[in-house]
Amino acid sequence: MPSRRILSASFLVLLVLSGCGRLRPKPPKEYVYVSAKQTFLRDRIAAISNHVADVSNGQRLEVLERSRRFLKVKTDKGKIGWIEEHGVIDQNMYQQFVDLQKQHVNDPVIATATLRDDLYLHVKPGRQEERFYLLPENDKLQMLVRASVLKPVPPQALPVPAPKPVLKTDAKSKGKAAEPPAPEGPPMEDWWLVRDAQGRVGWTLSRRLDIDVPDAIAGYSEGQRMIGAYQLATVSDPESTVPGGQVPEYVTVLVPYKDGLPYDFDQVRVFTWNTKKHRYETAFRQRNLQGYLPVHVGTQNFDKIGTVPVFSFRVATDDTVAIDPATGAAHPAHTDELTYRLEGVVVRKVEPPPPPGTAPPPPPQQAVPKTSVAPVKERKHARRHPARAAHAAHSRVRHKHH
């Protein structure tokens, strides 16, 4: 009897323990995502192993077990194998890419570009930042935001020695050393936040992008880089080579081929079509700007001329520029918005309306011509002796000219 009681008690304890195990919540599943272009799963961690399945960039895998440098994972199709840890990113990093996509879902498109080579998208601008999506060559991308960051310098690169001061030989300097030129800043490189056709967002190197510019005006860049060409209007010219005879007219923004500039563009040009010579001509150009994207293009109605194309952009009013420490993007502290309109082939500036409640400026007053008034004695003398007065006036004129 005592042995039966002991067995019964042990059985009850096992039932209670098993019930507690069933009630315990299961740990959430852990996932990783393939960041390599393409790799495979192996059946074991060894120098010689068998091929289980192929996996490619962006594919989700469920983590079953962890080793020192490998993860045991399962695909959505149920294939189980080991993969190297450096070929995947974890759930937290994947979520950062998802958040980046949501954050910039409504950003305006600055321009479109074509990718030169296969290239990764990074979560932040910089070569050492985490990467995930691998975009194929010739992929079409939408450009959203530009940023400038420090360019990594290889450790074997030696600093350039400072130039020796040159002694001045002129008499004024008296053998004093000339001031050395101002040292250049650290090397910078530009990155663009881009979006592909699938809506994926990330940062990529600017030098790997070929901005889409119409071939008809690309040759007018004059050594500058066109970072945007926006259609303003169309002109009918049946004798042109454009299909349908409808020739577009553009406003473009340009910038030097230099990374790390604190502005997006420094020049604006408007190209209109000459229907007699059947070619593009520059209707408007403005240089030495500190302009910032985007450029807004549309139409506006004016009292005397009707509805015409207009374009606007922002320019910095001083040198105060704020740099986003997270991305390196330049944000001017003080800006003005400039608006222009296209009247045929003439571009005119649109002045902003006065603030509400302010009276319009008064019209300029016309200057009243000054008339010389002769002294009273001279007037009386002229009445009595008109011949002498005429002779004296003639003498004064001759003396004034001589």
Residue spans of the domains in the chain: they are 31-92, 106-151+188-211, 213-353
Q: Which residue has the tokens 């500039």?
A: 261
DSSP 265: B
DSSP 243: G
The answer for residues whose C-beta is within 8 angstroms of residue 55's C-beta and 6 or more apart is 34, 38, 39, 40, 41, 61, 75, 83
Q: Quick one: residue 199, left, alpha or beta (phi over 0 = left, psi -120 to 50 = alpha)?
A: left
C-alpha torsion angle, residues 382, 383, 388, 392 (rounded to 10): 10
- Sequential pLDDT tens for the chain (402 residues): 555 555 565 655 555 555 555 556 677 889 999 999 999 999 999 989 999 999 999 999 999 999 889 999 999 999 999 999 999 999 999 999 999 999 999 999 999 999 999 999 999 999 999 999 999 999 999 999 999 988 887 766 655 565 666 555 555 555 555 566 656 678 889 999 999 999 999 999 999 999 999 999 999 999 999 999 999 999 999 999 898 999 999 999 999 999 999 899 999 999 999 999 999 999 999 999 999 999 999 999 999 899 999 999 999 988 777 777 666 676 777 889 999 999 999 999 998 877 776 666 666 565 555 544 445 455 555 455 555 555 555 555 444 444
The answer for residues whose C-beta is within 8 angstroms of residue 305's C-beta and 6 or more apart is 343
Query: What's the pLDDT score for residue 402?
Result: 46
Give, to the nearest 10 degrees, the angle between helix 386-401 and helix 376-384: 130
Q: Which two tokens stand for residue 20?
A: 């507690």
Q: Which two tokens stand for residue 70?
A: 């490998």
Cα separation, 400 vs 402, in Å, equals 6
C-alpha torsion angle, residues 52, 119, 102, 230 (rounded to 10): -150
Query: What's the pLDDT score for residue 400?
Result: 47
Cα separation, 228 vs 208, in Å, equals 16
With b for 16 or more beta-carbon neighbours within 10 A and e for fewer, the 169-179 pattern comes to eeeeeeeeeee
Query: What's the pLDDT score for residue 54?
Result: 95
Give the DSSP per-residue string, 87-133: GEEEHHHHHHHHHHHHHTTTPPP-EEEEESS-EEEESSSSTTS-EEE
Cα separation, 33 vs 121, in Å, equals 14
Which neighbouring-strand residues pair with 302?
Answer: 306
Helix (H) or strand (E) holding 20: helix 2-23
The answer for residues whose C-beta is within 8 angstroms of residue 117's C-beta and 6 or more apart is 137, 208
CA distances from 64 to 28, 30, 72, 308 (A): 11, 8, 5, 64
Architecture of domain 106-151+188-211: Roll (2.30)
Note whether 206 and 190 are within 8 A (CB): yes
Query: What's the pLDDT score for residue 138?
Result: 95
Give the number of other Cβ atoms within 10 Å of residue 320's Cβ.
Answer: 9
Helix (H) or strand (E) holding 4: helix 2-23
Beta sheet of 246-255, edge-to-edge order: 225-236, 246-255, 267-274, 279-286
What is the domain class of 31-92 according to CATH?
A: mainly beta
Cα separation, 395 vs 209, in Å, equals 80
Query: What's the pLDDT score for residue 140?
Result: 96
Topology match between the domains 31-92 and 106-151+188-211: yes
